Structure 1
Amino acid sequence: MWIYLFLGIYGLSMCFILCYSLAQANLLWHFFRFKRNLTPAASASDTNLPAVTIQLPVYNEKYVVKRLIAAMARMDYPADKLEIQILDDSTDETCSIIRELLQNFPKTNFKYLHRKERTGFKAGALREGLEKASGELIAIFDADFIPDDQFLLKTVPHFSDSRIGMVQSRWGHLNENYSLFTRLQAFALDAHFMVEQMGRNAQQAFINFNGTGGIWRKECIIDAGNWQEDTLTEDLDLSYRAQQRGWKFLYRPDVVSPAELPPVMSAIKSQQFRWTKGGAECAVKHLKQVLKGPFSFKVKMHAAAHLLNSMIFIAVLLVGLSSIPVWWGFYQGLIPLLYFKAAALFLLSFIIIALVYFFANLSLANYSRKGLLRYLWELPVFLSVSMGLSVHNGQAVWEGLTGKKSPFIRTPKYNLDEKRGAWVSNVYHQLKVPAGTYVEAILALLFLVLVGLSLYTATYEMLLFHAMLALGFGMVSVASFRSYRIKAGK
Structure 2
Amino acid sequence: MSTILLYAMFVVYVIAGVGLVIYGFSCYYSIYLFLKNSRRTRLADRKAILKYYREHSMNDLPQVTTQLPVFNEANCVERLLEAVCAIDYPKDKHEIQVLDDSTDECYEVAKKKVEELAAKGYDIKLIHRTNRKDYKAGALAEAMEVAKGEFLAIFDADFVPEKDFLLKTIPYLVMDEKIGLVQGRWGHLNRTESGLTLAQSIGIDGHFVIEQSARSWGKLFMNFNGTAGVWRKQAIYGGGGWEGDTLTEDMDLSYRSQLAGWRMKFVFDVIVPAELPNDINAFKAQQFRWAKGSIQTAIKILPRVLRSKEPLRVKIGAILHTTHYSIHPCMLFTALCAWPLLAFFEPVAHLPTWVYTVGFSFILLAAVAPSVLYFVAQRCSGYTGWKIRLLSLPILMALGVGIAVSNSRAVFSAVTGRKGSFVRTPKSGGSKKKAKSHYAQKFPWMALTELLVGVYCIFGLLEYIGAQKFIIGPFLALYSVGFLSVGVLSFMHYIGNIIEVHKARKNNDNVEPQDAYNAK
The TM-score with structure 1 as length reference comes to 0.94
Counterpart residue number, 2:487: 477
Counterpart residue number, 1:415: 429
Counterpart residue number, 1:444: 454
User: 1:95-127: per-residue Cα shift (whole Å, max 9, x none)?
Assistant: 111122223322111111111211111011001
C-alpha spacing 1:347/1:337, structure 2 compared with 1 (3 Å): farther
Q: Distance in 1 between matches of 2:106 and 2:292?
A: 28
The 8 Å contact of residues 114 and 125 in structure 2, kept in 1 or not, is answered as no
Counterpart residue number, 1:75: 87
The 8 Å contact of residues 327 and 462 in structure 1, kept in 2 or not, is answered as no
Q: Distance in 2 between matches of 1:33 and 1:173?
A: 26
The 8 Å contact of residues 424 and 487 in structure 1, kept in 2 or not, is answered as no
Q: Distance in 2 between matches of 1:433 and 1:275?
A: 19
C-alpha spacing 1:325/1:293, structure 2 compared with 1 (3 Å): same
Counterpart residue number, 2:49: 42
Q: How far did residue 439 of structure 1 move?
A: 1.0
Q: Does 1:380 align with 2:391?
A: no
Q: Distance in 2 between matches of 1:454 and 1:402?
A: 35
Counterpart residue number, 1:343: 359
C-alpha spacing 1:304/1:96, structure 2 compared with 1 (3 Å): same
Name the amino acid aligned to 2:309: P
Name the amino acid aligned to 1:198: S
Q: Distance in 1 between matches of 2:192 and 2:79?
A: 20
C-alpha spacing 1:270/1:153, structure 2 compared with 1 (3 Å): same
The residue matched to 2:339 in structure 1 has which SS?
helix
Q: Distance in 1 between matches of 2:151 and 2:81?
A: 19
The 8 Å contact of residues 165 and 220 in structure 1, kept in 2 or not, is answered as yes
The 8 Å contact of residues 414 and 426 in structure 1, kept in 2 or not, is answered as no
Between 34-43 and 285-294, report the one with greater CA deviation.
34-43
Q: How does 1:204-215 map to 2 (within 5 A)?
A: 204-215=219-230
Q: Does 1:25 align with 2:28?
A: yes
Q: Distance in 1 between matches of 2:153 and 2:370?
A: 33
Q: Distance in 2 between matches of 1:476 and 1:315?
A: 18
Q: Does 1:361 align with 2:371?
A: no
Q: Distance in 2 between matches of 1:310 and 1:26?
A: 18
Counterpart residue number, 2:305: 290
Q: Does 1:7 align with 2:23?
A: no
Q: Which residue of 154, 161, 168 corresponds with 1:147? A: 161
Q: Does 1:431 align with 2:431?
A: no
The 8 Å contact of residues 447 and 467 in structure 1, kept in 2 or not, is answered as yes
**Structure 1: gaps spanning 5 or more residues:** none
Q: Which residue of 388, 391, 394 corresponds with 2:405? A: 391
Name the amino acid aligned to 2:68: L
Q: Distance in 1 between matches of 2:459 and 2:15?
A: 26
Q: How far did residue 46 of structure 1 move?
A: 0.5
The 8 Å contact of residues 248 and 290 in structure 2, kept in 1 or not, is answered as yes
The residue matched to 1:246 in structure 2 has which SS?
coil
The 8 Å contact of residues 21 and 363 in structure 2, kept in 1 or not, is answered as yes
Q: How far did residue 27 of structure 1 move?
A: 1.4
The count of aligned residue pairs is 481
State the Cα RMSD in Å: 1.8
Between 180-189 and 142-151, report the one with greater CA deviation.
180-189
Q: How does 1:103-122 map to 2 (within 5 A)?
A: 103-105=115-117, 106=119, 107-122=121-136
Q: Which residue of 462, 466, 470 corresponds with 2:472? A: 462
Name the amino acid aligned to 1:165: G
Q: Which residue of 77, 97, 119 corresponds with 1:65? A: 77
Q: Distance in 1 between matches of 2:188 and 2:342?
A: 41
Q: How does 1:253-332 map to 2 (within 5 A)?
A: 253-330=268-345
Between 356-365 and 292-301, report the one with greater CA deviation.
356-365
User: 1:386-415: per-residue Cα shift (whole Å, max 9, x none)?
Assistant: 111111001101111221111111111111
Q: How far did residue 421 of structure 1 move?
A: 4.3
User: 1:228-273: per-residue Cα shift (whole Å, max 9, x none)?
Assistant: 0000000000000000000011000100011000011111111111
Q: How far did residue 5 of structure 1 move?
A: 3.1
The 8 Å contact of residues 100 and 127 in structure 2, kept in 1 or not, is answered as yes
The residue matched to 1:103 in structure 2 has which SS?
helix
Q: Distance in 2 between matches of 1:10 and 1:425?
A: 40
C-alpha spacing 1:456/1:379, structure 2 compared with 1 (3 Å): same
User: 1:246-302: per-residue Cα shift (whole Å, max 9, x none)?
Assistant: 001100010001100001111111111110000000000011110110101111111
Q: Percent identity?
A: 36
Name the amino acid aligned to 1:9: V
Q: How far did residue 342 of structure 1 move?
A: 5.0
Q: Distance in 2 between matches of 1:75 and 1:465?
A: 48
C-alpha spacing 1:468/1:365, structure 2 compared with 1 (3 Å): farther
Q: Distance in 2 between matches of 1:325 and 1:365?
A: 46
The TM-score with structure 2 as length reference comes to 0.89
Q: Distance in 2 between matches of 1:462 and 1:114?
A: 55
Between 102-111 and 75-84, report the one with greater CA deviation.
102-111
Between 340-349 and 23-32, report the one with greater CA deviation.
340-349
The residue matched to 1:102 in structure 2 has which SS?
helix
